[in-house]
Amino acid sequence: MSDIKNKIVEILVSKGNNLFNQPYKLIPFTKNRESNELLNNFEEYPHAFVLVCIMNRQIKTERA
């Protein structure tokens, strides 16, 4: 890799590590508290966010 690519990778890894080490923070996707809790619960519902995105875009099941 070139020096520029190495520097970009280094910066991205550093920023990712910083984000990963921050305390958990609920991401507000909607104005509904229960919906936000569901969408942020990746442990029990890892597919919920993707399903909501698909339903929001009204993508046909066959395509999804």
Which amino acid is located at 20 in the chain? F
Helix (H, G, I), strand (E, B) or coil at 25: coil
Residue 47, classed as helix, strand or coil, is coil
Q: What's residue 14's pLDDT? A: 96
- 40 and 31 in contact (C-beta within 8 Å)? no
Instruction: Check residue 57 and give its pLDDT.
Output: 75
**pLDDT score at 60:** 67
Per domain, the residue ranges of the chain are 25-64
Please indicate, yes or no, whether the overall pTM of this predicted structure exceeds 0.85: no
> Tell me, what's the pLDDT at 17?
94
Q: CB–CB of 40/27 below 8 Å?
A: yes
| Rounded Cα gap, residues 3 and 50, in angstroms | 36
Tens digit of each residue's pLDDT (9 = 90 or more) over 4-54:
999 999 999 999 999 889 998 888 988 999 988 988 998 898 888 888 877
pLDDT of residue 59: 65
Residue 49 near residue 39 (C-beta atoms within 8 A): yes
